[in-house]
């Protein structure tokens, strides 16, 4: 198996409604890794997935995988979905209602009956569906149905798995369980995947690479941490919704609080779902939750008191977004009046206080 899968998606399409989608995404994807296609609802994410799956033919452009051209408007080439061998899992599981779980998983398999059976058995075990083989879809819970859909898509061993908000309709607990199972299965089967989501926590938790889509255009592509750290433009930053996202390692956990090691600094957060010591997580902090003062102080109820230097000030209406270097880069939002009263400018030394409850910890799966 080749080490990297090169994906080429470059097309434009104008829908009858006037909505236009411009997708440009040429990316090497490592086997078993996941590219998250992130953006608000209606940004055109599903259009890209459908174009890759061959369920939709764009007006113009080129789509291909690893040198194979699936769609090329200039030559009129269009490979049918059957010829592309990609797995596709939709938001609702879309299981065949007249077939049992076993028959659903077996659906896309060819070859001798005993080989199909062997492959199905393997997937049933891999995805944790033992005991459900003879059930019909209507007898399954949402999470179980989604697992079957996943097993069915993986059965023919696709080069690429396309996941369109597969956890959207599930409750939080099931979602968390399925996320980590999915990551494990993809790693074990060395299947590359594209996951569409509008949930930034899901993007952080699941993604290796991330493409941000706003209003029909892919604005930025890169490793998840980089995208959150350095949004390419204000539209991307707005869609991400969180100003500071820091890769961290879980330190001590005690008394309901957790210490996060971030670069050379540490932060204290509420343990919530932080996991155990040594885990990789993201610490997310909204700019509004950072209190800035003229000098370092240890007063008040906040658990985190940091000292740093202002490295950038970006006015945004009545509010200024200031970036503080304090062992890591922290973004704070303060009113222009406050900033003027404090006399802050680039290079000023400031104190920053953050309550432990304002730090959101997202475990990396």
Partner 1 sequence: MDWTAFWVSVRLSTATMLVLIVVGVPLAYWVAFSHRRWKFLVEAVVALPLVLPPTVLGFYILVATGPMSPFGRWYASTVGRGLPFSFQGLLVASVLYSLPFAVQPFSAAFAAVDPRLIETSWTLGVSRPATFARVILPLSVRGLVTGMVLSFAHTLGEFGVVLMIGGNVPGSTRTVSISIYDAVQALDYQAAGSTSLVLLAVSFVILAITYALQRSAWAAWPIR
- Residue 49 vs 236, nearer CB to partner 1: 49
* Separation of alpha carbons 139 and 151, rounded Å: 17
- In the chain, which residue ranges form alpha helices assigned H by DSSP? 45-53, 101-106, 113-126, 142-154, 172-189, 200-206, 224-229, 234-240, 336-342
Q: Is 137 in the site for partner 1 (CB under 8 A)?
A: no
Closer residue to partner 1 in complex, CB, 80/254: 80
Among 71, 88, 282, 328, binds partner 1 (CB under 8 A): 88
Q: Which one of residues 87, 166, 216, 231 is an interface residue with partner 1 (CB under 8 A)? A: 87
Which residues are 335's β-sheet partners?
319
Site map (CB under 8 A) of partner 1, residues 150-189, x = contact: --xx--x---------------------------------
Out of 80, 254, 295, 301, name the contact with partner 1 by CB under 8 A: 80
Q: Provide, rounded to whole angstroms, the least separation between the CB of residue 96 and partner 1.
A: 6
Instruction: Please report how close the Cβ of residue 170 comes to partner 1 at its closest, in angstroms.
Output: 17
Helix (H) / strand (E) containing 313: strand 304-316
Question: What's the full length of the chain, in residues?
Answer: 365
CB closer to partner 1 out of 81 and 327:
81
Restricted to residues 92-111, the positions that interact with partner 1 (CB under 8 A) are: 92, 94, 96-98, 107-108, 110
Count of residues binding partner 1 (CB under 8 A)? 23
CB of 90 to partner 1, least distance (A): 6
Contact stretch for partner 1 (CB under 8 A) within 33-41, 69-77, 84-92, 217-225: 84-92
Query: Shortest approach of partner 1 to residue 138 CB, angstroms?
Result: 13
Tokens of 337: 């009046």
- Compute the distance between CA of residue 307 and CA of residue 127 in angstroms, rounded to an integer: 48
Q: Which of 199, 204, 252 lies closest to 224 in space, CA to CA?
A: 204
Contact 50, 124 (CB under 8 A): no
Least distance to partner 1, CB of residue 119, Å: 13
List the strands of the sheet with 257-262, edge to edge.
Answer: 265-270, 257-262, 244-254, 280-285, 359-363
Tokens of 302: 């906040």
CB 164 → partner 1: shortest distance, Å? 10
Burial of 327 (0-12, 13-18, 19+ CB in 10 A): middle
Q: Which of 358, 362, 326, 355 is nearest to 248 (CA)?
A: 362
Question: Given the DSSP bridges, would you call strands 68-72 and 60-65 parallel, antiparallel or unpaired?
Answer: antiparallel
Q: At 1, is the secondary structure helix, strand, or coil?
A: coil
Q: Decide the pairing of beta strands 209-214 and 5-14.
A: unpaired
Using CB under 8 A as the binding rule, the residues of this chain from 34 to 63 that contact partner 1 are 53-55
Q: Is 140 in the site for partner 1 (CB under 8 A)?
A: no
The answer to the question of residue 116 lying near partner 1 (CB under 8 A) is no
From 83-91, 170-178, 206-214, 331-339, span contacting partner 1 (CB under 8 A): 83-91
Selected from 45, 62, 84, 360, the binder of partner 1 by CB under 8 A is 84
- How far apart CA 332 and CA 206 sit, in angstroms, is 27
Interface contacts to partner 1, rule CB under 8 A: 53-55, 80-82, 84-88, 90, 92, 94, 96-98, 107-108, 110, 152-153, 156
């Amino acid at each position: 198996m080749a080490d990297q899968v090169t994906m080429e998606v470059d097309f434009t399409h104008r829908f009858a409604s006037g909505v236009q989608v411009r997708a440009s995404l040429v990316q090497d994807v490592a086997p078993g890794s996941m590219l998250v296609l992130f953006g608000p609802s209606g940004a055109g994410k599903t259009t890209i997935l459908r174009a890759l799956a061959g369920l939709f033919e764009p007006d113009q452009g080129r789509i291909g995988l690893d040198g194979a051209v699936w769609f090329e408007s200039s030559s009129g080439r269009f490979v049918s979905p059957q010829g592309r061998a990609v797995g596709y899992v939709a938001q609702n599981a879309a299981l065949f209602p007249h077939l049992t779980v076993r028959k659903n998983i077996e659906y896309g398999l060819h070859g001798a009956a005993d080989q199909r059976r062997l492959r199905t058995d393997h997937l049933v075990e891999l995805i944790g569906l033992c005991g459900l083989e003879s059930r019909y879809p209507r007898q399954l819970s949402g999470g179980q149905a989604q697992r079957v859909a996943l097993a069915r898509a993986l059965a023919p061993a696709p080069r690429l798995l396309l996941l369109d908000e597969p956890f959207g309709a599930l409750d939080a607990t099931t979602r968390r369980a399925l996320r980590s199972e999915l990551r494990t299965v993809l790693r074990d089967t060395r299947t590359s995947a594209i996951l569409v989501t509008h949930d930034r926590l899901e993007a952080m938790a699941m993604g290796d690479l991330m493409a941000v889509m706003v209003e029909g255009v892919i604005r930025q592509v890169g490793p998840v941490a980089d995208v959150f750290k350095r949004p390419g433009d204000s539209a991307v930053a707005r869609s991400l919704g969180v100003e500071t996202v820091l890769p961290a390692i879980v330190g001590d956990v005690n008394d309901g609080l957790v210490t996060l090691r971030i670069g050379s600094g540490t932060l204290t957060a509420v343990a919530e779902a932080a996991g155990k010591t040594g885990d990789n997580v993201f610490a997310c902090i909204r700019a509004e939750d950072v209190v800035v003062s003229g000098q370092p102080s240890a007063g008040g109820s906040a658990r985190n008191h940091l000292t740093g230097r202002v490295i950038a000030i970006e006015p945004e209406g009545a509010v200024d977004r200031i970036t503080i270097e304090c062992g890591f880069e922290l973004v704070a939002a303060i009113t222009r009046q406050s900033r003027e009263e404090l006399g802050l400018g680039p290079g000023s030394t400031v104190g920053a206080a953050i309550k432990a409850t304002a730090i959101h910890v997202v475990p990396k799966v």
